[in-house]
Structure 1
Amino acid sequence: MLSLILYLKMHNSFKIVNRLLVVLTVLGISMLLITCKQKSETVLSIATAANMQFAIHELAADFTAKTGVKCQIVISSSGKLTAQIKEGAPYDIFVAADLTYPQAVYDAGMAINPPKIYAYGKLVLWSYSDESLPILRMLTSASIQHIALANPETAPYGSAAISVLKSQHLYDSISHKLVYGESIAQTNQFITSGAAEIGFTALAVVKSPALKNKGNWAIIDEKLYDPIAQGVVVLNREGANLNAAAAFYDYLFSPEAQKILSDFGYSGNE
């Protein structure tokens, strides 16, 4: 009788252990599948200058459709993004509004390549009013009290706007009217909200589907400011998605991407 009881106890213990092993095996497989799924769902973090706020979404959507790589887009001024990158922000690629800021990132040893020009931007004078075509000489008018532009200390398009005003000897007479946005994105908000009667922005903004045919704008003569050569670098931070970043970098120079950029008013990188 005792031997039978011991047998039954041992048999039941075996069954319990066996069931436990099955459960642990299933859990292990599940965790492995979850880990594999997480690894396959690569997300590319793109630090993007504000002039590209509309074009970058079309570019990212096309890139994702072609590669399956999802994109997370962070938009700010090139100067602020540079500061964030130097402080360790988890970006994989920096799509800037000029060459100076990505060059600074490269010089700091935080990019695997020196900046390469992916496009040239263009500056426009934009009014959300439909009344008249904006021209530079109207900036001195008493009817215009606020002129919006991006902060020239951190935004290349703002710096270009200051160059235009100084080259036309307008800066001293209208400097008190200038309202500075943290980036082109905030500058656009000043203009569209009516907080500024007129302002300087990127051609890519007024040609975007969201703002096309809104108000009036005029392209500023490109001889009045230095070319806005926009550069891109792949960042080399620890844990960066280097393969995905390199793929997006190459994509920016593809005919498909250059066509999208052209549609938004950018000149080609050649």
Structure 2
Amino acid sequence: MSFFMLSIMRLIRQSAVVATLAISCLSLILPVSVAHTAEAPAIAAAANIKFALDDIARQFEQQTGLSVRISYGSSGNFVTQIQHGAPFEMMLSADEFYIEQLHKAGYTQDAGVIYAIGRLALAAPKKSELILDPGLVGLGQFITDGKLTRFAIANPDHAPYGERAREILKAKGLWDAVQPKLILGENASQAAQFTISGSTQGGIVPLSLALAPQFIKMANYVVIPDELYQPLTQRMALMPNASETAERFYQYMQSPSAQKILREFGFNLPNATEKLD
């Protein structure tokens, strides 16, 4: 077979891989409709809460007969969208900073409430040679041995879980060595997808995504100790245009039923969900 034909076949295979990865990523980051009616309120939610929130929304619909439309993405990008008129009625952020930012600018009804405390995991595809441990010793040795070529985190410029991943890597003295090898996800879900797809040798991802059945089938993980990074205090708030259905979903997020699901997906829960001044 000629060199030209070999090159064409290689290109086709590479294109198929890229297309498959792109479709998988889109299944995580594009809006997920839990509703079938036009009047269902639009909810903006941090990508890290996707699998837990999907379950909560289904349960909410079963118990109330009401529906919501959820879009998943990075908290920083949602802030920009809301400031430019996106018609979201509620936002669940991956870090309370973003809700506070919106509240100060008058885009929310109030300061909202903390609904969960996020956690992080070090993960790798099942075929990866990276040794996983809570202190990232294996990752450091992997770098020293010159074996690390690609590592995934969410973009730290607008994704809170990416910010904390960078914080962890810096705390362990690995950031400078890892930075040139980074594959950045637009949000936490995309970083998790890169981690399990085999396009990287590992990554730092939300524990809530690492616990999802889809993830466990393809990757291994270890929980990163909470003390290695600043708390991911996840806050939610209603927008001034919130409908009655959005308000009921907001209250449902604070119910024992919803909190049970959040715990199952690895989130810590706040001691109280009182509004801030």
Rounded Cα–Cα distance in structure 2 between residues aligned with 1:147 and 1:109:
38
Count of aligned pairs between the two proteins: 228
| Residue 213 of structure 1: how far off its partner (Å) | 4.2
Who is 1:252 aligned against?
Answer: 253
Match of 1:109 in 2: 106
Aligned partner of 2:267: which letter?
A: Y
- Whether 2:132 is the aligned partner of 1:134: answer yes
- Structure 2 counterpart of 1:84, which letter? Q
In structure 1, what is the equivalent of residue 56 of structure 2? 59
> Is the deviation greater in 129-138 or in 163-172?
129-138
Partner of 1:166: 170
Report sequence identity in percent.
Answer: 35
Contact 1:78 1:155 in 2 (8 A): yes
Q: Does 1:123 align with 2:128?
A: no
Gaps of 5+ in 1: 1-39
- Structure 1 residue 71: deviation in Å? 1.4
Q: Distance in 2 between matches of 1:251 and 1:118?
A: 11
Select between 165-174 and 88-97 the one with higher mean Cα deviation.
165-174
Kindly indicate whether the alpha-carbon contact (under 8 Å) linking 1:50 and 1:76 is maintained by their aligned counterparts in 2.
yes
Give the TM-score taking structure 2 as reference length: 0.78
Aligned to 2:226: 222
Q: In angstroms, what is the RMSD of aligned CA positions?
A: 1.6
Q: Which residue of 2 aligns with 1:155?
A: 159
- Name 1:212's counterpart in structure 2: 216
- Per the alignment, do residues 149 and 41 of structure 1 end up closer, same or farther by CA in structure 2, a change over 3 Å counting? closer
Give the aligned residue type for 2:95: D
Distance in 2, Cα, partners of 1:133 & 1:66: 44
Instruction: Tell me the equivalent position of 2:181.
Output: 177
Distance 1:78 1:145 in 2: 28
Q: Which segments of 5 or more consecutive residues in structure 2 lack a partner in the other structure?
A: 1-36, 272-277
| Runs of 4 or more above 4 Å deviation | 130-133
**Other-structure match for 1:50:** 47
1:82 and 2:79 aligned: yes
Amino acid of the structure 2 residue aligned with 1:258: Q
Higher CA-based Rg: 1
Q: Does the alignment pair 1:93 with 2:90?
A: yes
Deviations 1:53-80 (A, max 9, x none): 1111101001111221111110100001
TM-score (ref. length: structure 1)? 0.80
- C-alpha distance in 1 between matches for 2:107 and 2:192: 31
Q: Which of 146, 149, 158 lines up with 1:145 in the alignment? A: 149
CA distance in 1, matches of 2:191, 2:257: 29
The residue type equivalent to 2:190 in the other structure is Q
Aligned to 1:29: none
SS at structure 2 position matched to 1:153: coil
Q: Deviations over 1:129-166 (max 9, x none)?
A: 25664131333242221110001111111000111111
Question: How far did residue 173 of structure 1 move?
Answer: 2.2
How far apart, in 1, do the equivalents of 2:219 and 2:196 lie? 9
Query: CA offsets, 1:164-203, max 9 Å, x none?
Result: 1111111122221122111011112211221111001111
